Structure 1
Amino acid sequence: MDGAVTVTGTAESPVDPGAGFLRSFGRQVKLLREAAGLTQAELGTSVGYGEAHIASVEQGRRIPKPEMVEAMDRAVGGRGVLVAMKGEVERARYPSFFRQYVRLEAEAAQLHAYDSHVVKGLLQTEEYARAVFEMWRPLLDADTVEQRVAARMERQRLFSRRPAPLLSFVIEETVLRRPLGGRIVLRAQLEQLLLHGHERNIEIQVMPTEREEHAGLAGAFTLLHIGDRRRMAYMEVQNESALHSDPKKVGAFESTYGVLRAQALTPRESLTFIKKLLGEQ
């Protein structure tokens, strides 16, 4: 990804390498379990899950959490075989079109995002994220919703990374007024934005609906700075994505983002605005 590259992806791809990996991982779990002389029920009891859960993992239909992978490895005497696959298992939680972006996001020294429909995933509360995934069309099944929510919460480890990345977000006022999941969920989300907005490495800006000029009409996007030189731009719409590293394309997005920040409320004005919205809930 060091040259001028544009990578596109779609959730509608007929072959999902993540699904194939999960089936392979499940077969490995089954082989190790049987070699250890354990039934599915016995393994489930050992790691704190039900027999049906173990069966789903072995069939590649359920994605185990990292701590479950570690527990299964210990229970079957895997000697680190399952743990070695933990990273790939975790990435399989994400839709196929999103996985490459997630890897880059975790490495980012800077991340800057403009959002026009929902609060950025990195900033979402668990209940807000669940509401977003439950509204997904076509509908996601309950297990997939919980997997996606857990994966979204895992991404927020970025906030505790040291050295801390520099993060900024421009969010449309309409996003902050839209009560996805209900008023209680929205209130908790606004409170979380206030908490993040007071961090020294995070700046949140609100784009007022009343603005007569707006540079972001082409839609939402995210800018990533990886290390000192790699700059990338990411876009996603209707389960299709594009990841750009072409300096000209990335530069155009950076220019747009600069104008958006100038048009939006300042970070201090934005926190005051969010406090005002909280008072209206």
Structure 2
Amino acid sequence: MTDGIGGAAPCAGGGEPEVSDSLKAFGEVVKAFRKRARLTQEQFAPRVRYSVPTVASIEQGRRFPPPDFVERAEQVLDAFGALRGAARHLSRQPGLASWFRQWARLEAEAVSLYTYECRLIPGLLQTEAYARRLFVNQLPPLDDDQIEAQWTARADRQRLLRERPNTAFSFILEEHLFLRRMGGVEVTRGLIDHVLGVAELRNVEVQVMPLVRENHAGLHGPMRLLETPDNRWFGYCEGQESGQFIADPKVVSALQMRYARMRSQALTLEDSLSLLQRMRGAL
């Protein structure tokens, strides 16, 4: 499943996430504070409301710690803010496809981020209900732990919209993405409400490409563009089980031209929000 489907694709092999240095370091910090508190894993697990195997996986760096685990562990172990601080520096690898990780690292520092999507709502804009429906529909099927890992990675990425108020986010979304009603009426209603809410942020622009459009510069498929703090531009395009990171200035320039043309072909910001509100009312 591509990032377009997941916003954070499953790990290679479909099992535990690949171990990263930051995960292993976080696990060692948890273990050190647990031992300082003179707690065994069996004693510690119920206090943070997770199973012993889950605690063991986190301490071994094999599992990305959910936000509520970090908060509970911080309190139970009286960790002086160390666990919260360490968690902020975890790599975004767990729950992300190997081909997407380079883009995700740049995405976290970008000053501009542009996304055109024609297949489904991009991960940064998905609601939990919408995302979980995508996960449930994935083939080969995911187990519960894999779904949780994917949603954790998704929610983590979505924090960028609010934690980076100086980053300019632009989204161009095809109208049919909302008409599909993925997950049913209630899921779609919640999705539209969420997108309308995100669009109120000063650093976020959402435009809708109308269903009927005689000229369309995006027929080559979905694309992402970002600008780094040193003002370099990169592109990213994705397929079923692969992603293409684009650094060639000539190719990036072509993508920028297409995106600029689509911005003029899509509905204005005001008309886009008006259309979403009408679609919401028609559900």
Q: TM-score, normalised by structure 2?
A: 0.81
CA distance in 2, matches of 1:163, 1:194: 17
Partner of 1:241: 243
| Deviation (angstroms), 1:137 | 2.0
Q: Does residue 62 of the first structure (1) align with residue 63 of the second (2)? A: yes
| Deviation (angstroms), 1:96 | 2.3
Q: Does residue 253 of the first structure (1) align with residue 259 of the second (2)? A: no
Shift in CA distance, 75/276, structure 1 to aligned 2, threshold 3 Å: closer
Q: Does residue 132 of the first structure (1) align with residue 134 of the second (2)? A: yes
Amino acid at match of 2:66: K
State whether residues 92 and 105 of structure 2, in contact with CA within 8 Å, keep that contact through their aligned partners in structure 1.
no
CA distance in 2, matches of 1:40, 1:10: 28
| Deviation (angstroms), 1:30 | 6.1
Partner of 1:19: 19
Partner of 1:189: 191
Shift in CA distance, 236/56, structure 1 to aligned 2, threshold 3 Å: same
Shift in CA distance, 31/246, structure 1 to aligned 2, threshold 3 Å: same
Partner of 1:212: 214
Which stretch shifts more, 224-233 or 113-122? 224-233
Amino acid at match of 1:50: S
Shift in CA distance, 80/206, structure 1 to aligned 2, threshold 3 Å: closer
Amino acid at match of 1:99: R
Q: Secondary structure at the match of 2:18?
A: helix
Q: Does residue 176 of the first structure (1) align with residue 185 of the second (2)? A: no
Q: Percent identity?
A: 39
Give structure 1 stretches of 5+ with no counterpart: 1-8
Q: Secondary structure at the match of 1:114?
A: strand
CA distance in 1, matches of 2:199, 2:37: 51
| Deviation (angstroms), 1:10 | 10
CA distance in 2, matches of 1:66, 1:210: 43
Q: Secondary structure at the match of 1:224?
A: strand
Partner of 2:102: 100
Partner of 2:120: 118
State whether residues 115 and 223 of structure 2, in contact with CA within 8 Å, keep that contact through their aligned partners in structure 1.
yes
Amino acid at match of 2:123: G
Shift in CA distance, 247/17, structure 1 to aligned 2, threshold 3 Å: farther
Shift in CA distance, 234/26, structure 1 to aligned 2, threshold 3 Å: same
Which stretch shifts more, 214-223 or 236-245? 236-245
Amino acid at match of 2:194: Q
CA distance in 2, matches of 1:32, 1:194: 43
Shift in CA distance, 157/32, structure 1 to aligned 2, threshold 3 Å: closer
CA distance in 2, matches of 1:195, 1:135: 26
Shift in CA distance, 129/76, structure 1 to aligned 2, threshold 3 Å: same
Which stretch shifts more, 180-189 or 135-144? 135-144
Q: TM-score, normalised by structure 1?
A: 0.82
Shift in CA distance, 199/89, structure 1 to aligned 2, threshold 3 Å: closer
CA distance in 1, matches of 2:52, 2:196: 43
Matches within 5 A, 1:152-163: 152-163=154-165
State whether residues 11 and 17 of structure 2, in contact with CA within 8 Å, keep that contact through their aligned partners in structure 1.
no
CA distance in 2, matches of 1:10, 1:156: 17
Give structure 2 stretches of 5+ with no counterpart: 1-8
CA RMSD of aligned residues (A): 3.2
Amino acid at match of 1:205: Q
State whether residues 10 and 146 of structure 2, in contact with CA within 8 Å, keep that contact through their aligned partners in structure 1.
no
Aligned residues: 272
Amino acid at match of 2:40: T
Shift in CA distance, 226/262, structure 1 to aligned 2, threshold 3 Å: same
CA distance in 2, matches of 1:11, 1:269: 39
| Deviation (angstroms), 1:53 | 2.6
Shift in CA distance, 169/226, structure 1 to aligned 2, threshold 3 Å: same
Q: Does residue 47 of the first structure (1) align with residue 48 of the second (2)? A: yes
